[in-house]
Structure 1
Amino acid sequence: MGEWIYEVIRQGGYLGIMFLMALENIIPPVPSEVIMGLGGVAVARGDMAFWPLLFWGTLGSAIGNYGLFLVADRLGYERLRPFIDRWGRWLTLEWHDVEAAGRFLRRHGHWVVFLFRFMPMFRTVISIPAGLAHMAHWKFLLFTFVGAAIWNVALILGGQWLGHTLAQAEEWLGWVTVAIGALTVVLYLWRVINWKPKEQ
C-alpha cells in the first residue's frame, strides 16, 4: 500500500510535491502530513534533498491557500452567502460559521492566519475569512508561507526519522493514509446525514 504512494511521490519529484500540497489545501486527497512525511522518508533514503523539498512543498501550500483566499476576496460576503446558503449541507458549513470565523479573525488580528498553520483542522479554513476580510495579499502570503514552512520542517524531519528508524516506513505511512481517508469520508457522510442548520 505505502510503497506505491512513496513511488508516486518520488517519481513526481519536487513539482509533484508542489502539486499535491496545493491540491491538498483545496480538495484533500492525501493529507499534507503524509505527503511531506513521505518526502522526509525520500530525503532519508537519498531520493530527495531537504531544502528543495521544503521550498516546493511550502510553495504548494501557499498556492492552494491563496486560491481559497482569492475566491473569498473576490466574492465578498454578499455574493458568497447565497452560495453557502444553497450548498451548505454538502459543504457542512453555514453562514453562521463564516461570520463567526470572520469575527474571530477581526478580534485577534491577522496573526491568526500564521498561528492556524499549525492546526490541522483549521489551517486551510482560515484562508476564507482572511479573504472575506480583504487582508493584504502580501501579508496573507507571507504569514501562510512562513507558517507552512515551519510546519513542513517538522513533517520532513519526522519523515526522515521514520526513514532512518523503520525499514518499512512508507508502508506504515501508506496505511495511515488509508485510515485518515476512510475516517474523513465517514465523518463527512455523518455530518451530511445529520445536518441541521441553525435558526437564522
Structure 2
Amino acid sequence: MDWLTQVVERWGYLGLVAVVALENLFPPIPSEVVIPFAGFLTSLGVLTLPGVIAASTAGSVLGALVLYGLGRVLGRRRLEALTRRYGHYLGVHVEQVEKAEAWFSRHGPWAVLAGRVVPIVRSLISIPAGIAEMPAAVFVVYTVLGTLVWNTALAAAGAALGAAWPLVQEWVRVYQHVLLVVILAAAAVGIGLRLAGWPRR
C-alpha cells in the first residue's frame, strides 16, 4: 500500500492512471486505498478533484479494456484453463470469473454498469462482456458511467476526510458486508418464491 500511494504522490495523474489500471487487472490492489489517497492530495493542492476523477476513470477504462480484449480473443474455455493454471498469481480464481459471468448472463449490458460498484465483480465483469462479444463502444460507455460513480465517491470522500482518508477503506468494507447481506437476502426471497410456486402461470 505504501508503494501504491508513493507512485500516486510522485507521478501524480499519470501514476494514478497506471495504478488504477493495475487495480482492474489485479483485484487484490484496492481502489479504496489509492483513489481516496489521491482525493486527500487534492486537499493539499497537489492534485485537483476533477483531475483525480478523470485520471482514475481513464485508468479503470484502460484496465477494463485489457480484460475485455482477453475475453474476446481467448474465449471461455481457454480463459478458464489459463485462470486455473495462472490465476492464483494474479489473485483471480475461476469461481470469481464464473460469478462475474453469471452476473453478466442475468443482466446483460447493464451488468457492466452495475458491476462497477460491486467488489470483485467490478474488475472481472469485463471478461464475460468480451466473451459475449459485447460491442466495444457500448462496453466503454457503460464502463465509463459505472466507474465514474465509484471513483467520484471515493475521491470526494478522500478529499472531504483529508488526513483521515484511510477511513474510506473501512467504509468500503462495511459497504461490502451490507451488499453481501442484501444479495443473500434477495437470493433467499427468490428461492422461497419459486418453492412456493410463484409467479403462478
Letter in 2 for 1:169: A
Q: Deviations over 1:14-61 (max 9, x none)?
A: 010000000111124641111110111011111111111111110001
Alpha-carbon RMSD? 2.9
Aligned equivalents of 1:55, 1:154: Cα separation in 2? 13
Q: Deviations over 1:129-148 (max 9, x none)?
A: 11111111111111111110
**Aligned match of 2:164:** 169
Letter in 2 for 1:148: T
**Aligned match of 1:152:** 151
Mapped contact 2:71–2:127 kept (Cα < 8 A): yes
Mapped contact 2:42–2:48 kept (Cα < 8 A): yes
Q: How does 1:1-200 map to 2 (within 5 A)?
A: 6-28=5-27, 30-87=29-86, 93-94=93-94, 98=97, 101-163=100-162, 168-169=163-164, 172=166
Aligned equivalents of 1:88, 1:56: Cα separation in 2? 27
Q: TM-score, normalised by structure 2?
A: 0.72
Question: Which structure 2 segments of 5+ residues have no match?
Answer: 174-201
Q: TM-score, normalised by structure 1?
A: 0.72
Higher mean alpha-carbon deviation, 119-128 vs 28-37, is at 28-37
Letter in 1 for 2:15: G
Q: Deviations over 1:121-163 (max 9, x none)?
A: 2101111111111111111111111110111110111001111
Question: Which structure 1 segments of 5+ residues have no match?
Answer: 181-200
Aligned equivalents of 2:108, 2:69: Cα separation in 1? 19
Q: Deviations over 1:179-199 (max 9, x none)?
A: x9xxxxxxxxxxxxxxxxxxx
Mapped contact 1:23–1:29 kept (Cα < 8 A): no
Mapped contact 2:115–2:121 kept (Cα < 8 A): yes
* Count of equivalent residues: 170
- Aligned identity (percent) is 36
Sort the Cα spacing of 1:88 and 1:156 in 2 relative to 1 into closer, same or farther, 3 A.
closer
Quote the offset at 1:113 in angstroms. Answer: 0.6
